């Protein structure tokens, strides 16, 4: 039995977004949610006809949700950082309307220092997990932020099934590389494909989410469809989109933004008002839809849940 300890960030039932604001909530999947008893990460593929797919009709309400006012669905789906579809905020919503190509099966490979590697179709990957709705603050490095109702499951659940061995110190994630679908990859803005990483204890933290939807809907291309990472106490570029590879490694991954600007984008990238970006301050932020700026909170307001991960670390050096 899970005994829930109340947090200051818990959302009361009265604050849950009204059902009418959910656009086409029941269109993603038709069958009922299920937790299968068999391990997901096995060499054989689960028969889809025998195991129901998860549905967005029945979502767990997360114990970690914030009570902050939600950012509008329109803003969340039209104001995006996704350089694979362009470097300005509007391009992803325009160029990712047909992404991913539904005629191509989406596969995720799990490999590296683990006992149960494998390659899985998207549906087979997520089928064993119960989906939750988690309302998270989401902070971007340029000084803007949103509050988004994500749908997904804890990354820790997948990691446990993969069974990383004692050499696995980090988890590395890789985005799809397909310039035909992702026209931004034809420009050498970053070293493609996009790579990100977390320390294994960060990846196992209960806040860390693998998201497959938001606002009760399947993820759109501009938001990182069909599966992405959400790490709410870090800057948004750590929450890698459109994942095709998860690899357990012994050495710290050299991520895309670390390669592009090592003085500007460190491995940890925790939201920290005391560590300025070389070209701007991070001490204040502006919520999309609001005029006035607000003070940036340490760890984006998730101190209680994650501060212990960094005990004894110099967070200005390990930025």
30-76 pLDDT, tens digit per residue, is: 333 332 323 333 333 333 334 455 568 778 889 899 999 999 999 99
pLDDT of residue 53: 54
pLDDT of residue 38: 34
**Beta pairing partners, 147:** 137
> Average pLDDT in the 102-111 region?
96
pLDDT of residue 17: 42
Which pLDDT band holds residue 153 (cuts at 50, 70, 90)?
Answer: very high
- CATH code, domain with 204: 3.90.420.10
* HSE-CB for 16 with a 13 A CA cutoff: 13
Q: Flag whether 84 is in a domain.
A: yes
Question: 162-179: per-residue pLDDT in tens?
Answer: 999 999 999 999 999 999
Overall domain count for the chain: 1
pLDDT of residue 7: 43
Do the Cβ atoms of 229 and 196 come closer than 8 Å? yes
- Give the strand pairing for 284-287 and 144-154: parallel
What sign results for the dihedral spanned by CA atoms 104, 49, 162, 237? positive
Q: Flag whether 2 is in a domain.
A: no
pLDDT of residue 54: 59
User: What is the percentage of the chain residues whose pLDDT exceeds 90?
Assistant: 79
Q: How many residues does the chain have?
A: 319
User: What is the percentage of the chain residues whose pLDDT exceeds 70?
Assistant: 83
Q: Flag whether 317 is in a domain.
A: no
Q: Is the per-residue pLDDT at 271 higher than 60? A: yes
pLDDT of residue 80: 97
DSSP 73-134: HHHHHHS---GGG-SSSSHHHHHTTT-S-TTS--EEEEEESBSS-EEEEHHHHHTTS--EEE
User: What value does the mean pLDDT of the chain take?
Assistant: 86
Gap between the Cα atoms of 126 and 53, Å rounded: 8
Do the Cβ atoms of 54 and 157 come closer than 8 Å? no
How many other β-carbons are positioned within 10 Å of the β-carbon of residue 285?
A: 22
Higher pLDDT pick, 164 / 8: 164
**Which whole-number Å values give the CA distances from 255 to 60, 192, 193, 224, in the listed order?**
33, 10, 10, 17
Q: Is the per-residue pLDDT at 254 higher than 80? A: yes
Gap between the Cα atoms of 105 and 86, Å rounded: 24
Higher pLDDT pick, 210 / 62: 210
Cα-flanking dihedrals φ and ψ of residue 223, to 5°? -100, 5
Which pLDDT band holds residue 213 (cuts at 50, 70, 90)?
Answer: very high
Element housing 61 (H / E): strand 60-61
Do the Cβ atoms of 285 and 137 come closer than 8 Å? no
Q: Flag whether 315 is in a domain.
A: no
Q: Flag whether 8 is in a domain.
A: no
> Average pLDDT in the 273-286 region?
93
Q: Flag whether 6 is in a domain.
A: no
Gap between the Cα atoms of 182 and 33, Å rounded: 32
> Average pLDDT in the 224-231 region?
98
Gap between the Cα atoms of 87 and 130, Å rounded: 34
Q: Flag whether 318 is in a domain.
A: no
pLDDT of residue 55: 67
Structure tokens at 29: 């999947």
Domain extent at residue 210: 13-310
């Amino acid at each position: 039995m899970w005994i829930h300890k109340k947090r200051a960030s818990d959302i009361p039932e009265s604050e849950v977004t009204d059902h009418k604001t959910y656009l086409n909530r029941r269109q993603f999947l038709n069958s009922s949610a299920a937790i299968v008893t068999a391990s997901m990460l096995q060499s054989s593929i689960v028969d889809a006809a025998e195991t129901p797919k998860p549905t967005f009709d029945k979502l767990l309400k997360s114990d970690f949700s914030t009570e902050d006012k939600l950012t509008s669905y329109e803003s969340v789906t039209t104001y995006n950082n996704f350089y694979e579809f362009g470097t300005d905020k509007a391009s992803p919503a325009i160029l990712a309307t047909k992404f991913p190509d539904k005629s191509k099966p989406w596969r995720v490979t799990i490999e590296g220092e683990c006992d149960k590697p494998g390659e899985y179709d998207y549906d087979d990957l997520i089928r064993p997990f119960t989906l939750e709705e988690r309302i998270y603050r989401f902070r971007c490095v340029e000084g803007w932020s949103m509050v988004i109702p994500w749908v997904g499951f804890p990354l820790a659940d997948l990691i446990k099934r993969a069974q990383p061995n004692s050499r696995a110190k980090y988890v590395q994630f890789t985005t799809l590389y397909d310039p035909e679908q992702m026209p931004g990859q034809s420009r050498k803005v970053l070293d493609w494909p996009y790579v990100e990483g977390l320390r294994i204890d960060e990846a196992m933290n209960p806040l860390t989410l693998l998201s497959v939807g938001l606002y009760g809907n399947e993820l759109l291309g501009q938001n990182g469809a069909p599966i992405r990472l959400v790490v709410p106490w870090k800057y948004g570029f750590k929450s890698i989109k459109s994942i095709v590879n998860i690899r357990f490694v012994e050495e710290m991954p050299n991520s895309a933004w670390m390669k592009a600007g090592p003085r500007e984008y460190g491995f940890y990238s925790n939201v920290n008002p005391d560590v300025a970006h070389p070209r701007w301050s991070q001490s204040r932020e502006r919520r999309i839809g609001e005029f006035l700026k607000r003070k940036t909170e340490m760890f984006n307001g998730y101190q209680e849940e994650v501060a212990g991960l960094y005990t004894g670390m110099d967070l200005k050096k390990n930025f």
